[in-house]
Structure formats: structure tokens, C-alpha cells
Amino acid sequence: MGRIGKEVAGQIISFIGLIGVSVTCGIPLWRVTSFIGANIVTGQIVWDGLWMNCVMQSTGQMQCRLNESVQRLTPDLQSARALVIISLVFGFIGFILTFIGAKCTGCLKKDSSNAKVVIISGCLIIVAAILVLIPVCWSAAITITDFANPLTIETQRREIGASIYIGWASALLLLIGGITLTTSCPPQKPVYGYPGYAPAPVYPYSAPPTYGPVYAPPSSQPYTASGTYVPSKPYAAPNTYPAGQYL
């Protein structure tokens, strides 16, 4: 998969994760309490969320009340409010940065600058996944502990709601999207054939020169000697020596 394919895949997965975090933050299904009285007429279902609590009667009537005061919430839900909102902010900023640094948009001129922006956006999305994973796991642990506690009243036993499961799935998608974006950087050294780099230079082949005999045209002027070869001193034969002087 090329760099553009990784960026597009990371954007799509991160966007789906952000939608899941928004749903987790909005719907009041962090804890669900089912209570059935002496007869089915008195049965009711209580939904606890970050922003409101809803009660559904067995007759089908539902009443919801906004949590105007943070003090009415349990400590885990109070922290979940802040962490989920911060997670949405980090995820939204990271998602916007993916369009600025994407190779297909061309907002930045240098390829290295695009890669750095995409890596930063991936890190922000990973931080958003961690921020939403903390309150979801915390709330699930408290719900399971209270449900298993024998001292808890039967009417106050709560179960894990749909928001917890959606939060887990959203955190997983954000992690996958953020990791995909952080690994879409180009190589550190120029590689011929990689998108964004010039192809390998082509040098024309030239055969080595051949050297042949050089023929000069004959001259039309006759050759004349410029000097004389006659010795300046006449040559004389050596004198004869009698053979007796060597005996």
C-alpha cells in the first residue's frame, strides 16, 4: 500500500472512531439498571449517562433529566466527562491536520513537511484513543465491582451499558487509524521510483572512439635539403705501422 492509500485508510478509520466517541459521549447508556417490582406494572429501566439520566416505565413512558450539577455524578463519570471531551478535541484537531498534510491535497510544498504534519496528526489521534479508553475502562470496572458486591441493594445493581462497548470499539479504531497515519512517512533518503522523487537518471551510451590511420595528401613542392652533409674536415687514411714494433 502506497503512502496515499495509507493516509486515506487512516482518515476513514479515524473518522469512524470519532463518530463512535461522539455517540459514547452523547447517549445515556453508560450504566443500565433493570428493576422489576411485585408485578410487571412497577417495572422500570434506568439509564445513566454523562449528561442525563433516563427512566423508562414498563408502560413505555420515558422521562429524562439533565445532570445540571456535576456533583450528582459518581467520580468515574465526572472524570469521564472531561476526558471524553478532551478526546474529541484532540481527535478533531488530528483529523483536520490529516487533510493539511495529506499528499493528495498539496497544501504544503515540501514532501518532508507533509510527512511531519501527518505524523503529528496520527499522534494526536492516538492520544485521543487513550483518553477515551481510560474513562470507559474505569467506569466498566466500577460497574462490575458494584454488581459483584453482596452489600449492594438489588435495585441499585447496574450493568454495563452500550456506551461502554461503543467506547471500546471507538478507541480501537482510533488506535488503528493513528498508527496507520504515523507509519505513512516517506523514506529518509531519496529512493528512485518512490512517489514524489524523480526517476533514476538515464545516461546515453556512447561507443568508445576508434582511431584509424591518417593519410596526409602529398605535397606539390619538391623536397630540397636545407643543409649539407659534406664533412668540414677531409678524411685521411691512417698511416701504416711496421709490424716489427709489435714484436
Q: Where are the domains of the chain?
A: 3-27+71-182
CA angle 31, 36, 40 (to 5 degrees): 135
Q: What is the mean pLDDT of each run of 10 residues along the chain (247 residues)?
A: 78 94 91 64 76 82 82 86 94 90 66 80 94 93 85 77 93 94 68 52 62 61 58 60 56
Q: Which of 60, 47, 49 is nearest to 23 (CA)?
A: 49
What are all long-range contacts of 19-22, with beta carbons under 8 Å and residues at least 24 apart?
A: 19/170, 20/166, 20/167, 20/169, 20/170, 20/173, 21/84, 21/87, 21/88, 21/91, 21/128, 21/132, 21/167, 21/170, 21/171, 21/174, 22/88
Say if residues 42 and 28 touch (Cβ distance below 8 Å): no
CA dihedral 134, 48, 81, 146 (to 10 degrees): -40
Per-residue confidence (pLDDT) for residue 72, from 0 to 100: 79
Amino acid at 106: G
Full DSSP string of 111-134: HHHHHHHHHHHHHHHHHHHHHHHH
Say if residues 113 and 186 touch (Cβ distance below 8 Å): no
State the cell numbers at 230: 659534406
Helix (H) or strand (E) holding 88: helix 75-101
Beta bridge partners of 56: 45, 62
Residue with cell 507509519: 183
Per-residue confidence (pLDDT) for residue 192, from 0 to 100: 47
Tell which CATH architecture fits domain 3-27+71-182: Up-down Bundle (1.20)
